[in-house]
Structure 1
Amino acid sequence: MTDQTHEIPTVCCEPGEWRQTLERVRGEGFDFFDFLTAVDQTDADERPGFDVVVHLYDMTPGALCETFVQTRVADGATLASCTPLWSGAAWHERETYEMFGIGFDGYSEAGSGKLRKLLLPDGFDGNPLRKSFVLVARASKPWPGAKEPGGGGTDGAKPARAPRRRLQPPGVPDESWGPR
């Protein structure tokens, strides 16, 4: 079996050109919307922010092909909504808003014009797919990852050396952060 990899062509644009670029690509035949999502790049050395990506297909018989349209938005910035071009983008924009905090100007879903909660409960504070989001469950419960040496053995062997310091999972702040 041969290992084949292929790269999907990507159209990159500035946030101010987002809607015009999507309209142009749609006019070129990429009229099937697959998904919209974001990638947290806030730790990037140059232009930190969020990469917003749309995956589109050209479903013309005999010429099936796909492309990505991508832009990087700064933290707190918004993008033009693509729901007027693809109504199926409404769910994806709501999810991206809820998980990353990226707003979409001109969003329209059944005339509401407002991004509503999609997956998280009312009163939930934060955007869980941001790298800066601290997992509270990991901060309030001990990390189950690594077992301490000599812990829990009942084989009657000699006692092990003193246990190592407790390991913390990635994203959990140190003790000075507050109560657990």
Structure 2
Amino acid sequence: MTYEISAVSCEPADWRDTLLGLRDDGFDFFDFLTAVDETDAGETPGFEVVAHLYDTRRGAFRETLVRTRIADGASIDSLTPIWAGAAWHERETYEMFGIDFSGFDDGTGLGLRKLLLPDGFDGNPLRKSFVLTARVSKPWPGAKEPGGDSTDGKPARAPRRRMQPPGIPDDSWGPR
């Protein structure tokens, strides 16, 4: 027996057909779907949409990763007509990244909707452009400069340059 791992890239227009072909080729188990925010990539900015599949037939140890790159604001075909289990993953990816899945049907007739975040939450928290408000509103640990209060009579060290905590854009992004 061998264990085969492969990766497939396709155009967004071929997304559903590529995955349907893989299902017909024996990749019968849908493991997960997610996205990667590559909106800051130089040549082809957008989102990398990724699906992971397994072939679960006896003696067939195969898995594959299928990728496509879509532009920010573009939609991609839903995989729910192929695998009903893709619904949860597509709802999560829609909520966290703002990616629309056309033809989405989880059997409820409610369409794409929030899955994890509370009602009234605004934004897509896994996008690189999303400002982490908790880091803006809470003081960053170490707000007091080391050496600021010298009690031993020695001069205090010069303060370090203030750093923004990760997830907070610099002021050039405009008001927060």
TM-score computed with the length of structure 1 as normaliser:
0.87
- Is the alpha carbon distance of 1:126 and 1:64 closer, same or farther for their aligned partners in structure 2, counting shifts above 3 Å? same
| Alpha-carbon distance in 2 for matches of 1:48, 1:66 | 27
Correspondences of 1:1-180 after superposition (within 5 Å)? 8-144=5-141, 148-151=145-148, 156=152, 158-174=154-170, 177-178=174-175
| Alpha-carbon distance in 2 for matches of 1:43, 1:173 | 14
Give the letter aligned to residue 169 of structure 1: P
| Alpha-carbon distance in 2 for matches of 1:84, 1:34 | 15
Gapped regions of structure 2 (runs ≥ 5): none
Match of 1:3 in 2: none
**Secondary structure in 2 matching 1:8:** strand
- Is the alpha carbon distance of 1:88 and 1:153 closer, same or farther for their aligned partners in structure 2, counting shifts above 3 Å? farther
| Alpha-carbon distance in 1 for matches of 2:58, 2:140 | 53
Count of residue pairs the alignment pairs up? 173
- Deviation digits for residues 40-60 of structure 1 (CA, Å, limit 9, x no counterpart): 111111111000000000011
Quote the sequence identity (%). Answer: 69
- Deviation digits for residues 89-138 of structure 1 (CA, Å, limit 9, x no counterpart): 11100000000000101111123151111111111111111111110111
Is contact 1:32–1:58 with CA below 8 Å preserved after alignment? yes
TM-score computed with the length of structure 2 as normaliser:
0.88
Alpha-carbon offset, residue 7 of structure 1: 8.8
| Alpha-carbon distance in 1 for matches of 2:31, 2:148 | 50
Q: CA RMSD in A?
A: 2.2
| Alpha-carbon distance in 1 for matches of 2:90, 2:98 | 10
